[in-house]
């Protein structure tokens, strides 16, 4: 049984827009903080443990234009593992091992969960994650909270039709006051 693992860089005020660049008032804001060797290792372990990636179209396109240019274990992992993109418009995905999901989100994700054995990692992909949270399809959340208030930008959590209860599986402080939390959905 696959597990949907959402992983995000998030500001103290809940903003997840453009932590690593792109067009935004504060592009790359997460890079201003050292996340220490432990923080780097957390991201590497998380990627190496993933069985597949589930991405929104914009995040997919960003990854697809970057990862094929790199070499090394991490790049091999990203370039090799199965990628699933949620998009109604993407016609010909060019990144190796990609499938486009066009159907109902709940059905597609439940099918993935039954077919993939292990972590299905969702990074960035703000709109997709909001859809997954609304449908209660997220099994685990990895948040790297940076000690900064941005005051503007897209937030991860928006209003949802129900509440949810999670358990805190891990909480560590790394580098410049960066808080890593792992939360598991209690069902």
Contacts with another protein, residue ranges (CB under 8 A): 12-14, 26, 32, 133, 141, 147-152, 155-157, 159-168, 171, 173, 177-179, 181, 183
Contact 82, 53 (CB under 8 A): yes
By beta-carbon proximity to another protein, the closer residue of 112 and 183 is 183
**Shortest Å, Cβ 1 to another protein:** 22
| Collapsed DSSP state (helix, strand, coil) of residue 9 | strand
| Collapsed DSSP state (helix, strand, coil) of residue 183 | strand
Dist CA 120 CA 104 (whole Å) = 18
b/e map 121-140, b = 16+ CB within 10 Å: bbbbbbebbbbbbeeebbbb
By beta-carbon proximity to another protein, the closer residue of 4 and 183 is 183
By beta-carbon proximity to another protein, the closer residue of 35 and 83 is 35
**Shortest Å, Cβ 86 to another protein:** 21
By beta-carbon proximity to another protein, the closer residue of 14 and 131 is 14
**Shortest Å, Cβ 162 to another protein:** 6
How much is the CA Rg of the chain, to the nearest whole Å? 16
Q: Per DSSP, what are the bridge partners of residue 99?
A: 84
By beta-carbon proximity to another protein, the closer residue of 53 and 180 is 180
Put residue 153 in one of left, alpha, beta given phi > 0 → left and psi -120 to 50 → alpha: left
Distance, CA of 48 to chain centre = 14
By beta-carbon proximity to another protein, the closer residue of 88 and 163 is 163
The helix (H) or strand (E) run that includes residue 86 is strand 83-86
**Shortest Å, Cβ 187 to another protein:** 13
**Shortest Å, Cβ 14 to another protein:** 5
**Shortest Å, Cβ 153 to another protein:** 8
């Amino acid at each position: 049984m696959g597990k949907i693992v959402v992983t995000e860089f998030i500001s103290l005020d809940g903003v997840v827009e453009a932590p690593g660049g792109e067009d935004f008032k504060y592009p790359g804001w997460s890079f201003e903080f050292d996340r220490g060797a432990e923080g780097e290792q957390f991201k590497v372990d998380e990627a190496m443990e993933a069985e597949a990636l589930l991405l929104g179209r914009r995040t997919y396109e960003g990854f697809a234009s970057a990862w094929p240019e790199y070499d090394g274990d991490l790049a091999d992992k990203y370039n090799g593992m199965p990628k699933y993109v949620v998009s109604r418009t993407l016609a010909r995905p060019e990144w190796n091992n990609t499938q486009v999901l066009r159907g109902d989100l709940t059905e597609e994700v439940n099918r993935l969960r039954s077919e993939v054995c292990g972590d299905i990692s969702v990074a960035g992909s703000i709109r997709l994650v909001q859809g997954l949270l609304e449908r209660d399809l997220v099994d685990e959340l990895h948040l790297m909270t940076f000690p900064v208030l941005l005051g503007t930008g897209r937030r991860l959590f928006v209003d949802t039709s129900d509440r949810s209860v999670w358990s805190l599986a891990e909480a560590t402080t790394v580098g410049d006051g960066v808080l890593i939390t792992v939360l598991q959905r209690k069902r």
